[in-house]
Structure 1
Amino acid sequence: MAGIGSLLKLLPTGTVFTFEFLNPVLSNNGTCSTSSPVYKYLTSILIAICGLSCFFSSFTDSYKTKDGKIRYVFATFKGFWPSADQDSEVDSSKYKIKIGDFVHALLAVSIFAVLALLDSNTVACFYPSFQSNGKKLMMALPPVIGALSGFIFAVFPNNRHGIGYPAAANSSSSVTNVINKT
């Protein structure tokens, strides 16, 4: 069950929502190949920014301080940034970046890339001939990538509590470690 909960934390839902909201405007509803090239540039920038958001959000975490405040941090190779207060009892070494964080980040980016690059406005904007020729691929690829990534997320759950998700009491892995040991 922890793997399914972890799946919800790792999917780029906020980023996908932002992309789906802004893409029709920035791609001129997919007609950027016939109109000004500015729309292609704007759509490219949107895809890049949203992809970076998916990647970097995989390295965010949160914890609760002694006084009950939630602090949001970025994981680093030495612990987290910004560092904890001097009077805090949080062990920042538990928040170090691990290889699994990069795997989860790359999977989140790949999910977003499939959704963004096969979006009807993006297809019409960048590769309009693919719209009629690649219909089967456009229908089959998102569920396949989603199922594969979901399986990997469920088998290898993430211990991070990123921005917008409940913070751990004093350790980013305390709840998951208890579940994994039982």
Structure 2
Amino acid sequence: MEPLLLPAGGDGGPDDETTRLERTITRAFRSTAELAKHLPTGAVLVFEVLSPVFTNGGKCQDVNRVMTAWLVGLCAAACFFLCFTDSFHDGKGTVRYVVATRAGLWVIDGTAPPPPDVAATYRLRFIDFFHAVLSLIVFLSVAMFDHNVGACFYPVMSYDTRQVLTDVPLAGGLVGTMLFATFPSTRHGIGFPVHVA
């Protein structure tokens, strides 16, 4: 019986081409799977459930506009903040939940902090801020595209405004998603599976 995937020959023949193709496909699938960790799915779900209630189905009064603005602001803040959360297995195999800081990490699950050398590996990096901004852009794109929010803040919409509120969110969401896939993060966030190293 032969294995499904044969090892690469290493001689520059057809096996090398197959191996490169397999690696490319594997990378594409892995970065697509990583999108779930980085896209603001939780905040979008909360927003989509609450926005029809807060906007009164798009028929907003002043109080509805204030509540909707607060809803968008709180969900956007959650998207931004959650990009700095992480989880990992400690020496005993327990999953630990932390927030990345400049010094290392802040333990939020009530357990003792890990040793400083372990904490330093989880400190903030540029990619965390990059992902936080992208997450914010993707969420705001979804919020702008929502019909109830558009009707709430722009009850009488010109053709140009309607085009902007249709095209800009789609482009922002698409570009944000592609950048998430291109520049993945090693953070697991809270609520996503942590793989044992």
Which interval holds the TM-score relative to the shorter structure? Answer: 0.7 to 0.9
Larger Rg: 2
SS in structure 1 of the partner of residue 121 of structure 2: helix
CA distance in 1, matches of 2:80, 2:138: 11
Instruction: Give the TM-score of the pair, scaled to structure 1.
Output: 0.82
Count residues with an aligned counterpart. Answer: 167
CA distance in 2, matches of 1:79, 1:6: 23
Relative to structure 1, the CA distance from residue 86 to residue 47 in structure 2 (aligned partners, 3 Å threshold; closer, same or farther) is closer
Q: Which residue number in structure 2 is paired with residue 134 of structure 1?
A: 161
Matches within 5 A, 1:21-170: 21-32=49-60, 35=61, 37-82=62-107, 85=112, 91-130=118-157, 133-169=160-196
SS in structure 2 of the partner of residue 95 of structure 1: coil
Shift of 1:89: 9.4
Greater length-normalized contact order (CA 8 Å, ≥ 6 residues apart): 1
1:20 to 41, 48, 54: 48
Q: Which runs of 5+ in 2 are unaligned?
A: 1-26
1:9 to 25, 34, 37: 37
- Higher mean Cα deviation, 1-10 or 113-122? 1-10
SS in structure 2 of the partner of residue 91 of structure 1: helix
Q: Which runs of 5+ in 1 are unaligned?
A: 171-182
Shift of 1:149: 1.1
Task: Give 1:167's aligned amino acid.
Answer: V
- Runs of 4+, deviation exceeding 4 Å: 86-90
CA distance in 2, matches of 1:51, 1:139: 19
Instruction: Give the TM-score of the pair, scaled to structure 2.
Output: 0.77
CA distance in 2, matches of 1:45, 1:85: 35
Instruction: Report if aligned partners of 2:81, 2:132 keep a CA contact under 8 Å in 1.
Output: yes
* RMSD across aligned positions (CA): 2.2
Relative to structure 1, the CA distance from residue 86 to residue 141 in structure 2 (aligned partners, 3 Å threshold; closer, same or farther) is closer
**Paired-residue identity, %:** 37
Instruction: Report if aligned partners of 1:123, 1:131 keep a CA contact under 8 Å in 2.
Output: no
